[in-house]
Structure 1
Amino acid sequence: MVVDPGQLRLLALIERHGSLTAAAHALRLTPAAVTQQVAKAERDWQVPLVIRGPRGATLTAAGALLASHGRTVEEASDKAEAQLAALLGHLSLRLRIGTFQAAALHLLPPALTALRHRHPDADVSVVDVVSGRGADEISAGRLDLAIVASWGTPLAPPPHLRAHSLLLDPMVVVLPDDHPLATGQPADTELHLEQLRDESWVSILAGHAAREQFHDAAREAGFTPTVRFETESYDVAQALVGTGIAVALVSRLALTHAPGTTHRELAHPRPYRQLYAVTKTDASLTPLADMLIDLLRDVARDITATWEAPLQETQR
């Protein structure tokens, strides 16, 4: 026969409490339900297990034997319950975050500071993750939340993941500060990409979505860009622009204001990247993820306001 651990545990509880009613209370069942379970156990084991008397219930020799194993089941059940409660308590305070450099520098720190004020006992960790790997890290269970970017097209995660929109991050042109387009017109002048058709460019490495977006934008502007320098870092790109040897298309969030550089907004339609927080669709075990997303959106609104303020000042 197939042993039912529930029957073993029931006999252990009857032995401990000395009555079916007390055992029923411990199991949060009715006495009638426990009586039925005892009857079923005796049919299954084909031997009397419980002796009912005016002062309660005692076990037969067979019942006591099974109850000894039931105590093991009960101890394992109690241990499992305690460990699960501890795990869920830990998970409720744990938040493993992955993010790329610009978001780690400008978007995440204020949100984490606010989260720490609300939950000083939070168990937070942060790792560098390129946007293309963020969703995979969530799926593999190594991260609870990843900040990722999508260039020009909406992010479409698989059904078990959810993308929470955070920030629209426009591309700007970074120029040497002595470039004619920087010195010959007001700082709030928007540039058209075709004005830079004859420039040498620093660009993100080929094969990256940002590089594809750049070439698509140049194609729409009627030229093929001359890419002299390739890098995986917007910081490196801006440092190279500062030497005066090239120009670059850089996200507004990633601007470092490197020495020797300035930047200009692009006229509409301007390329952009969209920033998202990616989580599992069911993130009920990590409630801090939803809280951080709200805080990230607050920070994103503040950042966007600082971008718009200079433009509003010039329009007055």
Structure 2
Amino acid sequence: MDIDLRKLRYFVAVAEELHFGRAAKRLYITQPVLSRQIRALEHELGAQLFSRNKRSTELTPAGHQLLEDARPLLASAAALGRRIEQAAHGAPTFTVGFMPGIIVTAAVRVLAARHPELSIGVLRTSWDDQTEVVHNGRADVSFVRMPVDRQGLRLRPLFSEPRVAVLSADHRLADKQSIGVADLAYERLLQNPDAVPEWRDLPERPKAEPARPAFTGVEEKLEHIATSGGVVVLPLSTATFYTRSDIVHVSIEDIGPNQVCLAWSADRRSPLIEEFAGIAGDQA
């Protein structure tokens, strides 16, 4: 069965908006056209994707499954387009994504020395897009901090490092050599609690969840810590990357380390990627 990628993009827009009018506006098409395309896709697949009434639009079980599979498929298609465009317009390229605090210079230099004809770029990522850049083709490989969604990826473990609590310089725990995670039980965590399950699952932590902050990066979290309090738990290299006099980091004795892996698309069979993975492993 051949699936029209354009119809898939239309489907994903409706699935994310759960509103045909908003999805049509986002896609710059009219709502009747969008409705016809979705009906055509349902006919091609032989399954109802949405349950609609006058008040709401919901995904059916088949719709949920298609959304799960459509996103990586569209990302792979976009990545393919980028690679073809790059190949058609000049020298071969290779892009390495990396999270703050992770130094990739040595591995990049080795690859550059082996392949002087190769144009190598680096791309700084964040918690939100560290694997997305591989799926959508912006990076060939990415140094990622676990945990990540492993679907559609190959991962090579490289190294692990301690995690630390980052606090304001005048915090009650700022002068400690080390603390336990229970010392943070009543602190306001300025990140998704799922990123720090050891804190999330503390039995003595207050039951009421603090409002989840809408911070988009480490810099915003640190600014909030310095001005308004709170705490984040970060890998040591990330904490030391953002050195400032009004922020300190303290070791946490009873919390596991953060693991760093090299990630790339499971669909790609590139000798260059395999070679770089070997280089990264040797440099770790």
TM range (shorter): 0.5 to 0.7
Provide the C-alpha distance between the structure 1 equivalents of 2:201 and 2:130, rounded to a whole number of angstroms. Answer: 30
Say which SS state the counterpart of residue 259 (structure 1) adopts: coil
Look up the match of 1:309.
Answer: none
Indicate whether 1:164 and 2:149 are aligned: no
Decide which structure has the larger Cα Rg and report it: 1
Question: Given the alignment, which residue of 175, 178, 185 partners 2:167?
Answer: 175
Give the whole-Å Cα distance in 2 for the aligned partners of 1:139 and 1:174.
Answer: 31
Number of residue-to-residue matches in the alignment? 193
Give the match for residue 121 of structure 2. Answer: 125
2:193 and 2:199 in contact (8 A); partners too: no
Measured against aligned partners, the alpha-carbon deviations of 1:42-91 in whole angstroms (never above 9, x if no partner) come to xxxxxxxxxxxxxxxxxxxxxxxxxxxxxxxxxxxxxxxxxxxxx7xx88
Q: Unmatched 5+ residue regions in structure 2? A: 1-86
Aligned counterpart in structure 2 of residue 232 of structure 1, from 209, 212, 216: 216
CA positional deviation for 1:173: 0.5
Checking the alignment, whether the CA contact within 8 Å between 1:98 and 1:128 is kept in structure 2 is: yes
| Match 1:113 to one of 109, 114, 123 | 109
The 3-state SS of whatever aligns with 1:240 is helix
- Residues 138 and 219 (structure 1), Cα distance of their counterparts in 2 relative to 1, 3 Å cut: closer
Task: Determine the structure 2 residue equivalent to 1:277.
Answer: 262
Partner of 1:191: 179
- Tell me the amino acid that sits aligned with residue 249 of structure 1: V
Q: TM-score, normalised by structure 2?
A: 0.54
Structure that is richer in helix per residue: 1
The aligned residue for residue 245 of structure 2 is 259
Identical columns (%): 17
From the superposition, tell whether residues 131 and 258 of structure 1 become closer, same or farther in structure 2 (CA, over 3 Å).
Answer: same
Structure 1 length-normalised TM? 0.50
Q: Is the 8 A contact 2:94 2:119 kept in 1?
A: yes
Distance in 2 of aligned mates of 1:200 and 1:131: 20
Within 1, Cα distance between the matches of 2:130 and 2:229? 34
Q: How has the CA–CA distance of structure 1 residues 133 and 260 changed in structure 2, closer, same or farther, with 3 Å as cutoff?
A: closer
**Which residue identity does 2:160 align to in structure 1?**
L
Residue aligned with 2:163, SS: strand
Measure, in 2, the Cα distance between the counterparts of 1:123 and 1:294.
19
Distance across 2 between alignment mates of 1:229 and 1:131: 15
Are residues 1:150 and 2:146 paired?
yes
- CA distance in 1 between counterparts of 2:216 and 2:181 reads 22
Change (3 A) 1:200 1:217: closer
Structural mapping, 1:84-99, within 5 Å: 94-99=93-98
| Aligned-partner residue type, residue 113 of structure 1 | R
Check 1:200–1:281 CA distance in 2 against 1; reply closer, same or farther (3 A cut). closer
Kindly state the Cα deviation for residue 191 of structure 1 after the two structures are TM-superposed: 0.9
| 1:133–1:223 CA distance, 2 compared to 1 (3 A) | same
